[in-house]
């Protein structure tokens, strides 16, 4: 083994550590009993068991041996290709596929647990979410999923050629999802580094991963990612098509793009971004923009249109493109090639001309039974965020909206993950189904491992804030469980329930590293004499009021649990990122 392999093995080992105080559990299906839907069960010191949505795949299951060279275990759920068998086609005919039942179980988690937190009627009345047109059911049934897919309001990106996948759903009436972009460029990264970044990204909550490679070995990188990805993999095929013509946009053609798309579909890509809505006539609308065309795919196609003085070949061949996607059940993500790249360009004529075209293309894709979502901006000031969602819902017939951020200011290089997470929380609440993360390196360079984690944390916070605001039943219960642990000074439970247990523990350890401090009724922020929560305990004790309410009862689960539980304190240390 070389020192490079050694270093990779060590970094992967860090990606594979089970979450503290947690174990992987699997719930079976009722309609499809062979399903094994993964969840993370967190065991708290008061006997409570909290069940969380888990994107990390088999990597956090100590029972699963993984060799990145061999790829993950394959679990085919559907017959392969054959056309006319997309999730949308089957949903319209009333068929509940294994994937539909899988995502229903996954979305629910263990709602009986959450219910214990929601049973306080007065508190619920005060805190009830404002779904702003979304319909979040108390219980997600497989038929609810089928109906949402049939209406085009949700997609399940699950190419049957990607049997390593743990299916998930993207739709406004489900938990808000987060995408992470990875991929090499001509100036950086390697195949191993990208696979490691994938595993790292799903550990920190990426629901899907887009491979945006533009450098060497695009096909090999994608193959390695697909074979090791339990989450849907998306691509932008025009990048590889451009590589095939030596990087000269003018030399692109429908034939080159078609061949690239077919190969990616055969490989197992679950969804593709296609900038078919950037029409030749819209290009002059960008002439007075502050930042022109900032989408890479958009800029490539605009250059081709201008060079040939012809309509975008993705627009003119759109029906043929849909036939390919339908044959492999590859979901379509209609790219926003004219998204604004600065606040100055937000909501301008170019952006909305393309959005209206994306609505037309959505209907055409649906007529081919192609599952479709629509991409959105970009850079949008807070006061224009809602108008973007309203326009997308109106013009694109409620197809799921998938937005990059948006960044709410332009003056935050180095901190754009924060500037955009603010917009992401707002747009997620307003109705966006999936948020594409932004890392601190946005506009500055290729993100590394730590950037990926920072970007994902910012976006998990944004998505969770949106879920709480919409009234998702398990989202606020998760907050409530952590707050309860905080008030009862159960520090280890706080760490376990945190989105990033490692950082929470590290920060606490910086000033109070002793094990005894993990049950102390204060921390170093206010100190023992000024700890307001400690004084609250004293107030309640003086009034004869119980300090803590009854412990929410653990409910019986049909799920099977991994017997391996990460040991409790003090052993639940995690290595540095």
Using CB under 6 A, list all residues that contact ligand SF4: 522-523, 525-526, 531-534
Q: In this complex, which beta carbon is closest to ligand SF4, that of residue 130 or of residue 511? A: 511
Q: Least distance (Å) from ligand SF4 to the CB of residue 522? A: 4
Q: In this complex, which beta carbon is closest to ligand SF4, that of residue 254 or of residue 522? A: 522
Q: In this complex, which beta carbon is closest to ligand SF4, that of residue 531 or of residue 577? A: 531
Contact 158, 99 (CB under 8 A): yes
Q: In this complex, which beta carbon is closest to ligand SF4, that of residue 498 or of residue 531? A: 531
Contact 41, 565 (CB under 8 A): no
Q: Least distance (Å) from ligand SF4 to the CB of residue 46? A: 17
Q: In this complex, which beta carbon is closest to ligand SF4, that of residue 49 or of residue 508? A: 508
State how far the Cα of 100 lies from the Cα of 95, in Å rounded to an integer. 9
76-82: list long-range contacts, CB under 8 Å, 24+ apart. 76/160, 76/163, 77/32, 77/102, 77/158, 77/160, 77/163, 77/167, 78/160, 79/160, 80/160, 80/161, 81/160, 81/161, 81/327, 81/328, 81/329, 82/327
Task: Report the C-alpha dihedral over residues 452, 457, 458, 459, rounded to 10 degrees.
Answer: 90
Q: State the DSSP H helix or E strand holding residue 171, giving kind and residue range, or none if neither.
A: strand 170-171
Q: Least distance (Å) from ligand SF4 to the CB of residue 528? A: 8
The DSSP output letter for 271 is E
287-292: list long-range contacts, CB under 8 Å, 24+ apart. 289/340, 289/341, 289/342, 289/344, 289/345, 289/348, 289/350, 290/341, 290/342, 290/344, 290/345, 291/340, 291/341, 291/342, 291/344, 291/345, 292/341
Q: Which residues pair with 379 in a beta bridge?
A: 407
CB atoms within 10 A of CB 533: 15
Q: In this complex, which beta carbon is closest to ligand SF4, that of residue 2 or of residue 532? A: 532
Q: In this complex, which beta carbon is closest to ligand SF4, that of residue 258 or of residue 537? A: 537
* Of residues 394, 401, 457, 396, the one with CA closest to residue 427: 401
Q: In this complex, which beta carbon is closest to ligand SF4, that of residue 364 or of residue 517? A: 517
Q: Least distance (Å) from ligand SF4 to the CB of residue 504? A: 13
Q: Least distance (Å) from ligand SF4 to the CB of residue 491? A: 9
Q: Least distance (Å) from ligand SF4 to the CB of residue 533? A: 4
Q: Least distance (Å) from ligand SF4 to the CB of residue 534? A: 6
Residues 6+ apart with CB under 8 A from 508: 491, 495, 517, 518, 523
State how far the Cα of 159 lies from the Cα of 171, in Å rounded to an integer. 18
Q: In this complex, which beta carbon is closest to ligand SF4, that of residue 446 or of residue 498? A: 498
Q: What are 548's two structure tokens?
A: 């803590």
Q: In this complex, which beta carbon is closest to ligand SF4, that of residue 364 or of residue 533? A: 533
Q: Least distance (Å) from ligand SF4 to the CB of residue 485? A: 11
Q: Least distance (Å) from ligand SF4 to the CB of residue 541? A: 16
């Amino acid at each position: 083994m070389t020192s490079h392999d050694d270093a990779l093995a060590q970094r992967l080992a860090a990606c594979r550590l089970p979450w503290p105080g947690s174990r992987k559990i699997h719930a079976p299906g009722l309609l499809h009993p062979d399903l094994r839907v993964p969840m993370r069960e967190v065991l708290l010191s008061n006997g409570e068991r909290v069940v969380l949505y888990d994107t990390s795949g088999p990597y956090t299951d100590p029972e699963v041996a993984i060799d990145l060279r061999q790829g993950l275990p394959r679990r085919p759920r559907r017959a392969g290709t054959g056309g006319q068998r997309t999730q949308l086609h089957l949903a319209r005919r009333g068929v509940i596929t294994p994937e539909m039942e899988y995502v229903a179980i996954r979305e629910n988690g263990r709602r009986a647990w959450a219910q214990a937190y929601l049973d306080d009627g007065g508190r619920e009345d005060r805190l009830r979410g404002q779904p702003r047109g979304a319909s979040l059911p108390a219980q997600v049934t497989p038929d609810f999923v089928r109906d949402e897919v049939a209406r085009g309001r949700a997609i399940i990106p699950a190419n049957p050629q990607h049997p390593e996948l743990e299916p998930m759903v993207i739709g406004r009436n489900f938990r808000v999802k987060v995408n992470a972009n990875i991929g090499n460029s001509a100036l950086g990264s390697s195949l191993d580094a990208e696979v490691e970044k994938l595993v790292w990204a799903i550990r920190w909550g990426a629901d899907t991963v887009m491979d945006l490679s533009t450098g060497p070995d695009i096909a090999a990188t994608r193959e390695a990612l697909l074979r090791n990805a339990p989450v849907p993999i998306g691509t932008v095929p025009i990048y590889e098509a451009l590589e095939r013509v030596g990087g000269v946009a003018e030399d692109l053609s429908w034939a080159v793009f078609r061949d690239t798309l077919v190969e990616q579909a055969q490989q197992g890509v679950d969804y593709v971004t296609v900038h078919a809505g950037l029409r030749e006539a819209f290009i002059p609308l960008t002439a007075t923009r502050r930042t022109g065309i900032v989408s890479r795919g958009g800029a490539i196609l605009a250059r081709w249109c201008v060079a040939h003085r012809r309509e975008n070949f993705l627009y003119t061949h759109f029906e043929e493109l849909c036939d390919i996607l339908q044959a492999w059940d590859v979901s379509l993500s209609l790219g926003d090639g004219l998204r604004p790249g600065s606040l100055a360009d937000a909501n301008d004529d170019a952006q909305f001309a393309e959005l209206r075209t994306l609505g037309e293309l959505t209907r055409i894709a649906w007529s081919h039974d192609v599952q479709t979502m629509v991409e959105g901006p970009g850079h949008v000031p807070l006061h224009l965020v809602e108008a973007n969602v309203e326009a997308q819902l109106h013009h694109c017939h409620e197809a799921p909206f998938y937005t990059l951020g948006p960044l709410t200011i332009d003056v935050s290089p180095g901190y754009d993950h924060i500037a955009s997470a603010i917009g992401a929380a707002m747009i997620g609440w307003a109705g966006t189904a999936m948020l594409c993360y932004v890392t601190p390196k946005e506009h500055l360079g290729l993100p590394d491992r730590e950037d990926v984690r920072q970007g994902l944390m910012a976006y998990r916070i944004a998505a969770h804030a949106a879920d709480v605001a919409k009234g998702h039943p398990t989202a606020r219960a998760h907050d409530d469980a952590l707050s309860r642990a905080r008030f009862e000074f159960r520090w280890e439970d706080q760490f376990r329930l945190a989105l990033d247990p490692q950082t929470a523990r590290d920060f606490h350890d910086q000033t109070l590293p002793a094990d005894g401090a993990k049950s102390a009724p204060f921390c170093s922020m206010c100190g023992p004499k000024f700890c307001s929560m400690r004084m609250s305990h004293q107030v309640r004790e003086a009034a004869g009021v119980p300090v803590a309410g009854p412990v929410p009862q653990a409910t019986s689960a049909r799920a099977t649990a991994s017997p391996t539980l990460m040991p409790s304190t003090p052993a639940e240390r995690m290595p540095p990122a």
